[in-house]
Amino acid sequence: MSTRHFDIVVIGSGPGGEGAAMKAAKEGKRVCMVDNRVLVGGACTHTATIPSKALRHAIQRLVDVQNDHPELRVELAKVSKFKDMMRKASSVVARQVQLRTTFYERNRVELSIGHGRFLDANTLEVTDPRGASELLSAKSFVIATGSRPYRPPELDFTHPRIFDSDTILTMNETPMTMLIYGAGVIGCEYASMFRMLGVKVDLVNTRDRLLSFLDDEISDALSYHLREQGVLIRHQEQMERVEPTDDGVVLHLKSGKRLKTEIFLWANGRTGNTHDMGLDKLGIQTDSRGNVQVNDAYQTVVPHIYAVGDVVGIPSLASASYDQGRFAATHIVEGRLEHKLVKDIPSGIYTSPEISSLGRTEQELTHQNVPYEVGHAFFKSLARAQITGRTVGMLKLLFHRDTREILGIHCLGDNASEIIHIGQAIMSQEGPGNTIDYFVNTTFNYPTMAEAYRVAALNGLNRLF
């Protein structure tokens, strides 16, 4: 069997792999991208971020029209089936694939379709779906195989009423009731989406609060708004077993509760895609969830083999994965670290209302004995929010009392994941460039949502004495 030779072989065409491949190719390296899908984009494009966010947008637009035109509610209900919403998501996926394919063509990155498995530290065997194989050799490798929903062995995912966050997108009909087990980011996002579609949702949380990594005030606000929308949240519960029936699924909890639902969605964790890659014989170990351990340069224990994205664990964000890929490729090509690429990455959580945060929370600052102050801007007081009718939410700024340095930005409400970047631009400045005074000394267009920064800054500065 002949071997094709490259400078760098990247395994996985999601954001992490794409970031690595594009950076290396633009630096003049000969690059090959390996992916087990015929179409590029990885899970991000095909089963996770893009289709779920496109679905959310389609559902939100339907809800907005129903609210603005109540006389059309009956007619709109006829086209509010889940498969109708997914049709919009599928069109977005197709456009994303077409766009990303041109990136590889334009930068002369070769594609190899199939499952990659290391034969030795410099040789990868790629087996395509038909069973044919080819060998690729390279000086460096980047593992960017992503993750998939964790599936506990005791759950029968072949049952037509039991889904995970990948398979739920294949559902054809809108259920009357749904039970979501796992109240992390994915669980909360789907709880919000299906509730907007009119589904009766139970959200089972294994912890004592929703998204405990968030600022407490934001987490509490999310809980309030989900409950106000009709989601029933059950905290500190553990699954004992799941009992499928002909007309639904019964969840037995260790607390003794029994919950019956039409559809059961498992949303409790993800697993790195490292199975059968031959990593163990290279000395590259994975943890119980299939994640690869790396150093600050994203190198595994084999220095010329790197790993980026979801396969290395948190933060498991598409945005972070892309930057990690660029970071790893920079280290391969130039031998230097660009820590700014992977530092202070904002989170975006697409619930309704949307959430985004950057930096430290109130509880973290209190624990670290940092003298901080808080500035709020509630959307209900902003003219632009009143005009658009999106008055739910707030912007929260945390800043140092003495230096006025911005320490944390937390936003809840419509377009929170966009609004956060205004503050990020200031917070990322070095030394005296990062100050809350920027927002009171700068004129913002009126009316805009950006004005929230001026309002929040004044609110916080008024607390100083």
pLDDT per position as a tens digit, 50-67 = 999 999 999 998 888 887
Walk me through the domains of the chain, giving residue ranges and CATH numbers. 3-148+271-334 (3.50.50.60), 162-268 (3.50.50.60), 353-462 (3.30.390.30)
Residues at the binding site for FAD are: 53, 116, 145-147, 310
Residues at the binding site are: 53, 116, 145-147, 182-189, 269, 310
pTM: 0.94
Residues 6+ apart with CB under 8 A from 465: none
The answer to whether 379 and 448 have CB atoms below 8 angstroms apart is: no
**Residue 337 has what pLDDT?**
85
Residue 89 pLDDT class (50, 70, 90 cuts):
confident
**Residue 85 has what pLDDT?**
83
The whole-number average pLDDT for the span 18-40 is 97
**Residue 87 has what pLDDT?**
85
**Residue 461 has what pLDDT?**
98
pLDDT (tens digit per residue) in 236-281? 999 999 999 989 999 999 999 999 999 999 999 999 999 999 999 9
Q: If 0-12 CB within 10 Å is exposed, 13-18 middle and 19+ buried, where does residue 206 land?
A: middle
Query: Between these two residues, 461 and 72, which has the higher pLDDT value?
Result: 461
Helix (H) / strand (E) containing 222: helix 216-229
Among residues 181, 185, 319, the alpha carbon closest in space to that of 241 is found at: 181
Give 443's DSSP letter: P
Least confident of 45-59, 83-97, 355-369, 371-385: 83-97
The whole-number average pLDDT for the span 174-198 is 96
The whole-number average pLDDT for the span 321-328 is 95
Other beta carbons within 10 Å of 256: 7
Q: Is the pLDDT of residue 5 over 80?
A: yes
Q: Is the pLDDT of residue 73 over 80?
A: no
Residue 27 CA, chain-centre distance (Å), reads: 29
Residue 79 pLDDT class (50, 70, 90 cuts):
low
**How far, in Å, are 97, 107, 123, 239, 391 from residue 100 at the CA level?**
5, 11, 26, 40, 36
Q: What is the mean pLDDT of the chain?
A: 94
Query: Between these two residues, 71 and 370, which has the higher pLDDT value?
Result: 370
The whole-number average pLDDT for the span 322-341 is 89
Residues at the binding site for NAD(+) are: 182-189, 269
Tokens 């890659």 sit at which residue?
A: 277
Q: Is the pLDDT of residue 152 over 80?
A: yes
